[in-house]
Each structure stands twice: as C-alpha cells, then as structure tokens.
Structure 1
C-alpha cells in the first residue's frame, strides 16, 4: 500500500454506495457505473460516474490530513519570512464546497477548469461533482517537448489568476490537466485573502519546481521570465525577475514536500543569474 493511500484512508464501501445512489437520484440515472481512479490525490477518493461526472469523496480523515498539511505549509511560509497564508477547513463538506467555488472563480476569470456542477453531503462525507474530462493527461505525464510547449500557457494562467486576486495554493504537475489541446486547473486550496502576495510567490515557486525536473532549470526560468504576464497587465522583464526572486524564497521549503522532487540549487542559481542579468540590462 502506498503512503498516499494510507494517509488518504479508505472510505467504507457502504458510504461509497450511498454516494453513488445519491448521484443517481440527483441526475436521474437508472443505472450507475462507478470507476475509481488511481491517482496521487492525498485528500479525497476520486471516481468517475457514468463517464459524465468526476466525483471527489472527501472524508473526515481527508479533512484532518488537510489541516496537518496546512499547518506544515504555514510553517514553511514562516520559515521563508512570510506570514502563513493557508487556511484550514472546518470539515469535509467545507472542503468540497470550497473547491466548487474555487473552480467557479477560475472559470470566471478565464482560466480553464472542469465545469463545476455542485457539492453536497452524504453520511458526513463531502461530495464534489465536476465535469469529467475524458482522456485527459496530467501535464507532467507528457513528453518533454509537449511540456515545454505548454509551459508558457501555465505561467500565463498563473499570472491571470494572480492579477485577479486568486491563488491556486497547491500547484503540481498532476493538478494541471491537458485536455483537447488546452490546460485545465484543478484542486485549488484555501488561501487567506490577506495572504495573496505570499501565495502568489508560492504558486510560482511550485510551478518552477514542478517543471524543473522535466525541462531543466535554465529552460523553465527562461520560459517563466518571458511568459509570466497577461495582455491586460503587461509586466517588464525586471518585474518578472522580481517575481522569480520572491518565488525563490519558498524553494527550500517546497523541496522537502513529498510531492516535489527538483534540483533546488540549480533552480535558485538560475533565478539569481537571470535576475542579475535583468538588473544589468536596466542600468
């Protein structure tokens, strides 16, 4: 058994059947086919119903694990000289409700996300229902040349989130899906409104850390420098270099997370070299 499956826990089969019955009733389905997904999600039991709905079942243990992760992430923020900016949830239902609203928010600012359907409670479990994207692939599961082609879109999407007061908070390759030639974002976490500045830097650091093992430090920093902007809010290369330096503060903490494995020294060195070059260019 993987550590993720152990930490995530197992939802009793009777409760999963109750969730399936509730989905069938809500969407007038005479028959229900449930396919459970083997993913690296720590915080829910994901499944697909009738090849139409992506359903995440969130248990009390999932909520407890999220609270532990939230505390650890806030310690990481403090160690980086920032106030903690992650907020815990009261329980599994609140977790499902938040992800529903976060998905709606992403779509409202023009960032691709699966269509949100609803969230509800069954037997004390939080249940989130989203559109199912058939034949999607996580970004980090693509060939290197495809990851490099999509990387600018990832940083542009991050910039769009941040310019609209939104932070993802848990950006990893498996939370960026490629479907029908476009990137879709899932699993945004709960970020305090007064902590957005730190959360933005953390998002950018996570994106760099996710892509560095695939593309290399030099390539991913170059792409971020060129792409981390939106048409509505253009940024200079010096602005982008400053954002990269802010992100660098979080790299050491992200390196100790079990879901990131990257060359911190190479990435930090490339950021410093790039920022120094931008400073020279503006003199």
Structure 2
C-alpha cells in the first residue's frame, strides 16, 4: 500500500450510505446519487450528491493525519525562524465545522467561496456540506495564459484576507477554483490568531510556490509586487511589497518539502532577490 493511500484512508461503504441517507433526509430527497471526485485530497473523501451539494466526509484517520501534518508544519515554521501557527482539531466533526466557519469568513469579506450549508456528525464522521459549483476547474488545471490572467485577482484576494486578520493556511492551485471566470477559495485551514504575521508570510510563499510552475517566476513575482496590498487602495509601495516577498522567501524552503508543492525554489528565490534589490536601488 502506498503512503498516499494509507494517509488518505477509506470510508466504509455502510458509513457512506449512512451519510447519503442523512443528506437525503435533511434536504427532502427521496433518492441520493453520489459521485466521488478524483481529487488529491488527503484529509477527507469529497463527493457530489444529486449534483447540488458538495460533501466532504472526514474520518478519525483524516483527523489524525491532519494532526500529524500540523505538527510537521509547525516544525517547519520553527525552522523558518518563527513560532508555529497551525492549530490541530479535536476530531473529524471539528474539522468539518471549522471549514464551514472559514468559508463563512471568506464570504463575509466579499471573497468568492462556495455557499456554506452546514456541518454535522454521522456515525462519528464529520460531514461538511457546501453548494456544488458545476463545471469548475482548479486553477492549476488551466493553460498558463489563463492562469496569468487570474494573478491580479488572486493576490488581491489574498491581501483582503490578510488585511482582515484571516489567513488561508493551505493555498495551492487545487484549492483555488475557477467558476464562471471568477476565483473561488476552498479548504482554508486552522491558524492561531497570535501567529497571523507568520501565517501571512507563509500564505504568500505558498501562493508563489503554487504559481511559479504554472506561469514562471518573473510573472508571479511581478504580480505579487503589483497586487498584493493588504493595506488596500494601493496604500503600500512596491518597496513595501518587496519586503513582504522577502518575508515570504523565508518560508519557501519549508513549503518546498511539502509533497503537494513542486516548484523551482532557486529561480523563485533569485527573482525575489532581484525585485527587492531593484526596488531598493530605485528608492535611493
């Protein structure tokens, strides 16, 4: 058995039937058709029910794996010179409840996210229900020119989160969906409030790492310099944004060891250093 299959685990069929039955009862459905998604998701079993609800089923093993990942991420944060800022959950139900609340927070900020429906427990499983976005595509599945056209929106959305005390914590191409031409954000993780400064830098590092293989280091660094403005209304200068990129650079080696990020760290580091040097020279 591969390590990926082990950490993902499986949900017994009788429990999945119980979840589908509960969804049908809650939403007045005589029958429930379940379609499982081919997603690289280690922390839940995602599926679509009756082409109306996006459902995540979270097991105790998923919660255990999340706790192990959280410990490893916090060790990585320590290695980057800051205290750990990821927080674990008490169990699968808490994981589902957190993502529901995180989705509500994103929407309250005016950002796109699937409409949250509810979170509940079935046979010890955590069940999260969101609206289903038909015909969406993950950002990392688009052609490079289309990805590049979405860079301003992505960095502006990240700036809105950070300006309002919210960090995503798990920004990857597959956690940014493109639906009807707009970006939708999913799978925000649990970040401690007293660790927001480090979490923001980590978010920015994750965005750079996720986008570099898709559009190249020059395009992604330039987009961050132009559009990542947590103060809003272009209140920050390129030099200040270059400083933010240097802070994010401290986390790139940490992001690089994650199995879900593959990027050219040397090229990205070099482009950040070049941009910071150019802005320092221009400000003299």
TM-score scaled by length of structure 1: 0.98
Match of 1:236 in 2: 237
| Runs (5+) with no aligned partner, structure 2 | none
**2:119 aligns to what SS in structure 1?**
strand
Give, in whole Å, the separation in 2 of the partners of 1:45 and 1:185. 18
**2:260 aligns to what SS in structure 1?**
coil
Give, in whole Å, the separation in 2 of the partners of 1:263 and 1:201. 18
8 Å CA contact 1:118, 1:129 repeated in 2: yes
| Runs (5+) with no aligned partner, structure 1 | none
Deviation at 1:49, TM superposition (A): 0.4
Alignment of 1:176-195 (within 5 A): 176-195=176-195
CA deviation vs aligned residue, 1:162-196 (integer Å, no higher than 9, x gap): 00000000000000000011000000000000000
Match of 1:35 in 2: 35
**2:188 aligns to what SS in structure 1?**
coil
CA deviation vs aligned residue, 1:20-78 (integer Å, no higher than 9, x gap): 00000000001110001110011000000000000000000000000000001000100
**2:83 aligns to what SS in structure 1?**
coil
Alignment of 1:214-225 (within 5 A): 214-225=214-225
Deviation at 1:3, TM superposition (A): 4.0
Give, in whole Å, the separation in 2 of the partners of 1:244 and 1:2. 36
**2:150 aligns to what SS in structure 1?**
helix
CA deviation vs aligned residue, 1:82-128 (integer Å, no higher than 9, x gap): 00000000000000000000000000001110000000000000000
**1:54 aligns to what SS in structure 2?**
strand
Q: State the superposition RMSD in angstroms.
A: 1.0
Give, in whole Å, the separation in 1 of the partners of 2:55 and 2:135. 16
Give, in whole Å, the separation in 1 of the partners of 2:2 and 2:173. 19
Alignment of 1:204-223 (within 5 A): 204-223=204-223
Give, in whole Å, the separation in 1 of the partners of 2:213 and 2:235. 28
Count of aligned pairs between the two proteins = 283
Query: Is residue 269 from structure 1 mapped to residue 270 from structure 2 by the alignment?
Result: yes
Match of 1:249 in 2: 250
Query: Is residue 10 from structure 1 mapped to residue 10 from structure 2 by the alignment?
Result: yes
Give, in whole Å, the separation in 2 of the partners of 1:255 and 1:229. 25
